[in-house]
Structure 1
Amino acid sequence: MNESRRHVVRPRDQIVKHGLIAGLKAAAAMILVMIALRFLFGVPSLTEIAADWFSAFLPGRAVDFLLETLSFSAKPLMFVGLLILQIMIGSLSGVAYIGLVQLRELENLGRGLWAVAFGVGLWLIAMTAAVPVFGGGYFGADVGRGGTTFAMVALISFTTYGAVLGYLSHSEVVDGSGYVEERRVFLSKMASWGLFGVLALLGVNFVVRPIFSRLVSGRFSGAGMATLSTEITPNEDFYVISKNIIDPSVNANEWRLEIGGLVEKPYSLNLDELRTMPSVEQFVTLECISNPVGGDLISNAKWRGVPLWDILEKAVVQPGVVDILFRAHDDYTESISLDKSMLEQVIVAYEMNGQPLPDEHGFPARLIVPGFFGIKQVKWMTAIEPVSIDYLGFWERRGWTDKPYVKTFSRFDIPWHRSKLFDDSVLVGGVAFAGKRGIRDVEISDDGGEGWVSVDYISEPLSAYTWVIWTMEYTPAKRGPVTLRVRATDGDGDVQTAEFRDTIPDGASGHDDITVLFQDIPA
C-alpha cells in the first residue's frame, strides 16, 4: 500500500468523536436531500409521518395548550424537534459505522460499498419497523399519495446518508499533500451550514414569526390602534389551522373527487365537472374548536359550491348508511351523519369570497358544514364514501368530540386589552356568534358580571350561519382602570355561560374580558 494512503487505527475516544461528527454531517446531508425530494415529489417525509404518530399520543390538554399557545406553529415545532432527534440518531449510527470500519480494516473501495450498504440497511429497518409503527405500513404501503414514491424517496435519502458517511470516514486516510483532507473539511462544513440554514428558515418561518406576531398583536400588547372585524373576512386574513407541517399543493388538472362506498353508482368528478353542477352561494362563519375564550380562530366568508346531497344522490346511497366519510389529500378523514349530509347548506365548496379556494383553505374543493366547528370542514377533499358505521375522524380519535356544535361566542375587538384612554368615553365592539341559533342580544358588564347592559348596535347577520358585529359607546363612572366583560344571548334565549372550560373536548366556554385605563391627559 502507498505510504501516503494508509489505514490508521484510532483510539476508542477518537472513534466515538469521529463517528459522532461524521454521522451528524451525514444526517445533515440526508435531511437536505429528504426535504428537497419532499417538495419535488409531493409525498410526506418519514419525519412528517413520525410527527403525526407522536401527536396522536400527546394528551388532549397538551395538544390544546400547544394549539392555543403556538397556533399553527405547534406542528412545525414538533417537526424541528424530530429533525434534531434524527440528527442525534444519525450521529450515533456514525459511531457504529466508524467502529465497523476500524474493526474490519476496510480499504477505500470497501468502505464506500459498506457505507452504501449501511445506509440501505438503515432504510430496510425504517421501512419494516419504524414506518409500520407510525401507521404507514410496510415500505410505506399505507402512505397516501404514493407509497412506492415514499419508499423510493426514503431509499435515496438513506443512501445519501450512507454515501456521505463513507466519504467522511475516509478522512482517516490522509493524502500526503493534505489537499484531500482540506477538501473534505470544506465540504463537510458546507453541509453543516446548509443544514443550519434550513433549520433556521424553518424555525423563523413556522415558530419565531408566529410567536412574535402573537406577542406584539394588539390584543396582548395594548399598543397601537385596534380594529373592529369586518363582516366578511378577506381570504388572506382568514384563520388557518391544519394538522400538517407542510400543507398539500394539489394539481387541479390531476385532481378527482371519488364518490364511492355504499352507493349503487360510484363515479368521480374533476374540477370542471364539479363547477358545472348547479351551485349555491352562502355566507358561513367558521370557528376552530381550539379557539380559546375571546380568541381569533374564527372568520367569515362567502362560499360557493355544490350541495353535498346533490353529489350523493347521483350515486344512489344504499340502505343502512350511518355516516358520510370524507377523505382528504393529506390523509385527513372526517365524517358527518347521513341526516346532516341531506341539509342543503352542507356544500362541497370550490370558491371563497368570489375566488378559487386558496391552497391553505383546501383547493380545489372543501367541505362546508354550517354550525359545526372547523374539524368537520374537510379541506383538500379527494373522496366521499357513505359507510355503515359511526366513523370517528382524525381528531375524534385523539379525544375531541364527534358532535362539534359551535357554542355561543362573543369577543372584544376594540379597544385593546390594557389600552390607555384619555377621552370621557370609548367605542367598544367585537363579534358574536352562535351558529344557526343566531344572536338575540349582546351585553357588557363593568362590575364583574353583577350588572349587564345591552350594547347599542348589533349588525344584521349576512345569513343564518354568520357572526354579527356589535358596538357600544361606553362611559365609565369614574377615571381609573375598568374591566369590561361581554356575553351574548343566542336566538333560543340561552345566555352565554360564564363557566370557564378549556377547548378540549368540545370547545371553550366563558366570558371574554379586557381591562382598560381611563386617565387624564398629562399636563
Structure 2
Amino acid sequence: MDSQGDARRLPFFRSAVVGVLAVAAALAAGHLVASVLNPSASPFFAVGSTAIDLTPTDLKEFAVRQFGTNDKLVLLTGMAVVLLVFAVIAGLLSRRGPRPGMVLAVMLGGLGIAAVLARPDTSFVDILAPGASLVVGAGVFYMLHTRASHKDTVDTPAEGPSRRQFLYTSAGVAVGVGVAGVGGQLIADRVNIEDSRTAVGSLVAAEQAPAIPSDADFAQLGTPRFLTSNRDFYRVDTLLNVPRLRAEDYVLRIHGAVDKELTLRFADIRRMRLVERTITMTCVSNEVGGPYVSTSNFIGVPLRDILDQAGVKPGAEQLFSTSVDGWTAGTPVADVLDRGLLAIGMNGEPLPAEHGFPARMVVPGLYGFVSATKWVVDMEFNKFADKQAYWLKRGWGRTAPIKTQCRIDSPNGFATVRPGKVTVAGVAWAQPRGIAKVEVRADNGPWTPATLATDVNPNTWRMWQAQLDLAPGLHTVECRATDKSGYTQTDQRVAPIPDGATGWHSTTFTSG
C-alpha cells in the first residue's frame, strides 16, 4: 500500500467542496457580468436555452405532457443537479492535483461561450459573461485546491491553521457566490417592467367587444368561466427567463415585401385606433382533452390597419415575425390581413410580461406557434421558401389551422357521482368556424345532443352540458363536436405534433 500516495491525495469531502464551490463561483460570476451586458448571456440560462433549441421534438413533447407549464422548472432543476454531479466529479478527479478540475472548468466555460454565441438574442461582446465564468471557475478551483492541499501534520493538528485556512477560504468563496448571484439578479431586475406597464395607463378601446352573456358558460356545472383570467391563461413557450422589454424602449420594424418600411414605437401604436376582440387561443401541444386553451378580451390594433400603411406587395405569402429573444413564426398573410391583431392588452390591462408585454401578435384560428409571437419586434413579409420559422425547421406544420375539438370537464376521471341523472359538461372550439353542435354518449351507446351555451363569436370556444340517465356502475362517456362548416371531428387519435391532435375525449367515472 502506498501510504505516501494516499497522504498526497485530498480527502473525498474536501475534493467535493472544491469542485462544488468552483462551479458555483463560475456561474455566479457569469450571471453578474451578464446582468450588466445582457441577462440572456448568463451561462446557466444560455446553456439551458440552447438545450431547449437542440432538444428533439419528441422529447420536448414528452416534457410538456409530463410536466405541463412546469417543464422549464424541471429543466433548470435537472441542469442544477447535473452541474452538482459534474462539480463533485471534477473535485474527485483532482485529488492528486488541480489540473483535471481546471481542465473541466475550462471546458464548462467553453460550453457557456458556445451557447452564448449560438443564441439569436446575444452579441459577440456578451461572451464576456461566460468568459468570466471560465476565468473565475478555474481560478477559484486552483485557489481552493491549494488551500485544501495543506495537509494536517503532527505539528499541525486537525483543528490547526491548515484546516481553518481551508474552511475560511471556502466560507469566503460561498459568501462571494451569494453576493454575486443576488447582486446579478438585482441588476438584471433593474428594468422595472411593472412600472412600465403601470405607465401605459388604462386601455380603453374605441371599439369594445360585446359584453359576455351571463349564460355563455356553465361554470356552475364544472366548465371554465368564459373569460380566462390573465393569471390562469396558459403559457407555453421556449423561454427560461421572461424578456424585460419596457414600453418606452419598444420598437417594431415592418419590412420585406412592402411598399414602405415602417418603424413603430409603442407610443405610435398606443395612439392608433384600438379595438377589443374576444379570442380563444389554443396551443398545438394540447393533447385531446388538454388544458392549453384559454380565452381573453385582447385589446390592440388590427394588423390590416397597420399593414395598409406599409402596403403589402402581391405575392407575399408569410408574415415572418421575430420576438425580442430571436424566436420566429411564419403566419399566412391572408389570415393576418383577415383577422390578425397586434395586441397590447388583455382583459382591460396592459399585457402581462409573460404574455408578451409590450406587444404581441394574435391571429385567431391558427395554433400559437404560427400566430402568436410574443414580444414581437420584427415583421418581415416574404415567401415561405425564403425563411423557415423556429418550429417549421423542426418539422412542425406550416399553416396550422386549429382543429375542431371538444373536452369533458365534469365529471372528472375516476370520480364517483350519484346514480340517475348525471350532468356532463365541457367546452368545444373550432376557431374561426365556430361550434354548431356537441354530442355525448355513454358506454358506446347512441349519441345525445348537448345543450350549448350562448355563442359569443366564431373565434371563441363554446361551453356545453348534457343530462345522461345512468345506472349504478362504471361508465365511460365520450364527446364529439361539429363545427359550423358541417365537419364532425374524427375519432382517429393523432398526436399533437406536427399540426394538432385529433380524437374524441372521454372520461370514466362511477355512478353510485
Amino acid at match of 1:172: S
The 2-side partners of 1:370 and 1:76 are apart by: 29
The 1-side partners of 2:231 and 2:124 are apart by: 33
Give the C-alpha shift of residue 55 in structure 1: 3.5
Structure 1 residue 399 corresponds to structure 2 residue 395 = yes
Distance 1:74 1:380, change over 3 A: same
Q: Which runs of 5+ in 2 are unaligned?
A: 182-219
Question: Secondary structure, in 3 states, of the residue corresponding to 1:236?
Answer: coil
Structure 1 residue 413 corresponds to structure 2 residue 389 = no
Amino acid at match of 1:408: T
Structure 1 residue 433 corresponds to structure 2 residue 429 = yes
Distance 1:191 1:509, change over 3 A: farther
User: Match of 1:387?
Assistant: 382
Distance 1:254 1:460, change over 3 A: same
User: Match of 2:473?
Assistant: 480
Deviations 1:112-140 (A, max 9, x none): xx98xx8996587447xx61xx5x53xx6
Q: 1:512 aligns with which of 475, 481, 505?
A: 505
User: Match of 1:65?
Assistant: 62
User: Match of 1:350?
Assistant: 344
Q: Please, what is the CA RMSD of the aligned residues?
A: 3.3
Distance 1:258 1:10, change over 3 A: farther
Distance 1:421 1:98, change over 3 A: closer
The 1-side partners of 2:322 and 2:398 are apart by: 16
TM-score by length of 2: 0.80
Amino acid at match of 1:347: L
Whether the 8 Å CA contact 2:283–2:293 is kept in 1: the answer is: yes
Structure 1 residue 366 corresponds to structure 2 residue 363 = no
Whether the 8 Å CA contact 1:263–1:317 is kept in 2: the answer is: yes
Whether the 8 Å CA contact 1:27–1:91 is kept in 2: the answer is: no
Amino acid at match of 1:298: V
Whether the 8 Å CA contact 1:119–1:159 is kept in 2: the answer is: no
Q: 1:181 aligns with which of 156, 159, 163?
A: 163
Question: Secondary structure, in 3 states, of the residue corresponding to 1:291?
Answer: coil
Structure 1 residue 501 corresponds to structure 2 residue 499 = no
Give the C-alpha shift of residue 186 in structure 1: 5.2
User: Match of 1:313?
Assistant: 308
Whether the 8 Å CA contact 1:324–1:336 is kept in 2: the answer is: yes
The 2-side partners of 1:226 and 1:33 are apart by: 54
Whether the 8 Å CA contact 1:51–1:75 is kept in 2: the answer is: no
The 2-side partners of 1:190 and 1:444 are apart by: 66
Deviations 1:246-278 (A, max 9, x none): 222222221211223344432322212111112
Give the C-alpha shift of residue 312 in structure 1: 2.7
Question: Secondary structure, in 3 states, of the residue corresponding to 1:253?
Answer: helix
Distance 1:422 1:37, change over 3 A: farther
The 1-side partners of 2:284 and 2:99 are apart by: 56
The 2-side partners of 1:119 and 1:13 are apart by: 19
User: Match of 1:109?
Assistant: none
The 1-side partners of 2:48 and 2:443 are apart by: 46
Question: Secondary structure, in 3 states, of the residue corresponding to 2:256?
Answer: coil
Give the C-alpha shift of residue 439 in structure 1: 0.8
Amino acid at match of 2:40: V
Whether the 8 Å CA contact 1:392–1:402 is kept in 2: the answer is: no
Deviations 1:200-239 (A, max 9, x none): xxxxxxxxxxxxxxxxxxxxxxxxx973211111111111
User: Match of 1:168?
Assistant: 144
Structure 1 residue 273 corresponds to structure 2 residue 268 = yes
Structure 1 residue 144 corresponds to structure 2 residue 160 = no
Give the C-alpha shift of residue 54 in structure 1: 3.3
Give the C-alpha shift of residue 166 in structure 1: 2.8
User: Match of 1:107?
Assistant: none
Q: Which runs of 5+ in 1 are unaligned?
A: 1-7, 104-113, 199-224
The 1-side partners of 2:35 and 2:427 are apart by: 39
Question: Secondary structure, in 3 states, of the residue corresponding to 1:237?
Answer: coil
Question: Secondary structure, in 3 states, of the residue corresponding to 2:500?
Answer: coil
User: Match of 1:442?
Assistant: 438
User: Match of 2:135?
Assistant: 159
Whether the 8 Å CA contact 1:56–1:398 is kept in 2: the answer is: no
Whether the 8 Å CA contact 2:31–2:43 is kept in 1: the answer is: no
The 1-side partners of 2:247 and 2:332 are apart by: 29
Deviations 1:361-400 (A, max 9, x none): 1111110011011212111111111224433221222221
Whether the 8 Å CA contact 1:240–1:361 is kept in 2: the answer is: yes
Amino acid at match of 1:152: L
User: Match of 1:250?
Assistant: 245
